[in-house]
Amino acid sequence: MLHMIEKTILDNPLITAFAFVGAVIWVSNQLAHHLTRGRVAGSAIAVLAGLALAYWGGAITGKAKGLADVAQFGGLALMGGAMMRDFTIVATASEVHVDEAKKAGWLGFLALVLGTVLPFIVGVGVAYAFGHRDPVTLTTIGAGAVTYIVGPITGAAIGASSDVIALSIATGVIKAILVMIFTPVFARFMRLNNPQAAMVFGGLAGTVSGVSAGLAATDRRLVPYGALVATFHTGFGCLLGPSILFLAVKALFG
């Protein structure tokens, strides 16, 4: 019986990965709902759980591909590989409507530029302060400070190693969680009480999960305004990260 289950799992790696990731996200959503009362988004907990599982996988196999090095979870390498990742990210652009995008206007664009460049500078600065000098590493960590999606996409595009990409994901995930938890706390300080302010917030704070969860905890009516600008954030970061920002870092430190 056990042997049959194991054979089925090993014969169908991608399908197993779908079922497994679904289970991880379900458990994460339950934890988010019951333990944090929805304050931390389930998706952020799921990503953290993924990183924890990768740590566990790496610890027991001693290899570099996290949980995917455990034979039963090999399908994760295909599901979470570069092809599927970039494909699904491009698909998220479908949620942006041109007419609504025009409403966000120059204010959203300004926030978007600042929200990409400022965290990037901070990320590069911190990495530099800790002794990193390689432009690829500096850029990947800086991009991770933009969002946990921009980090790995930029890192993959410019040829960063898996450990640097993991570090940039960790940076982005920690930032997303900070945004979720502390947005309601700093809402008054940020004057976060009208649609335009929410758009500025969406552009500057970045990460879609952080922005939507943070705004939901502040005032649900602000969510679409913030999320609208924030959905541009990943694409904008993915456009700038491996191109202008990488070239700038290369010119400065290369």
Q: Which of residues 43-102 bind another protein (CB under 8 A)?
A: 43, 46-55, 57-59, 64-68, 73, 76-77, 79-81, 84-96, 98
Dist CA 223 CA 199 (whole Å): 9
Helix (H/G/I), strand (E/B), else coil: 212: helix
Q: Cα–Cα distance between 161 and 152 in angstroms, integer?
A: 10
Asked if 158 is part of the footprint of another protein (rule: CB under 8 A), the reply reads: yes
Site string for another protein, 216-245 (x = CB under 8 A): ---xxxxxx----------xx-xxx-xx--
Rule CB under 8 A: choose which of 27, 113, 178, 253 binds another protein: 178
- Counting contacts by CB under 8 A, is residue 27 touching another protein? no
Q: In terms of CB distance, is 36 or 156 closer to another protein?
A: 156
CA separation for the pair 179, 165 (Å, rounded):
21
CB-CB contact of 122 with 175 (8 Å): no
Residue from 141, 110, 111, 143 nearest 240 by CA: 143
Residue with tokens 């042997």: 3
Indicate the residue among 7 and 97 with the shorter CB distance to another protein: 97
| Span from 3-11, 31-39, 177-185 in contact with another protein (CB under 8 A) | 177-185
Nearer to another protein, 40 or 166 (CB): 166
Least separation in angstroms between residue 19's CB and another protein is: 11
Q: Considering only residues 97 through 156, tell me which ones interact with another protein, judged by CB under 8 A.
A: 98, 105, 107, 110-111, 114-115, 118-119, 122-123, 125-127, 130, 141-142, 144-146, 148-149, 152-153
> Residue 248, interface with another protein (CB under 8 A)?
no
Quick one: tokens of 203? 């552009």
Does position 196 bind another protein by CB under 8 A?
Answer: yes
Q: Would you count residue 31 as binding another protein (CB under 8 A)?
A: no
- Let me know if 130 is exposed, middle or buried by CB neighbors in 10 A (0-12, 13-18, 19+): exposed
Least Å distance between CB 156 and another protein?
A: 9
Structure tokens at 177: 């969680």
Q: How far out from the chain centre does Cα 117 lie?
A: 16
Contact 123, 230 (CB under 8 A): no
What whole-number distance in Å separates Cα of residue 117 and Cα of residue 139? 11
Give the nearer residue to another protein in terms of CB position, either 182 or 253: 182
d(CA 136, CA 155): 7
Residue placing its CB nearer to another protein in the complex, 1 or 91: 91
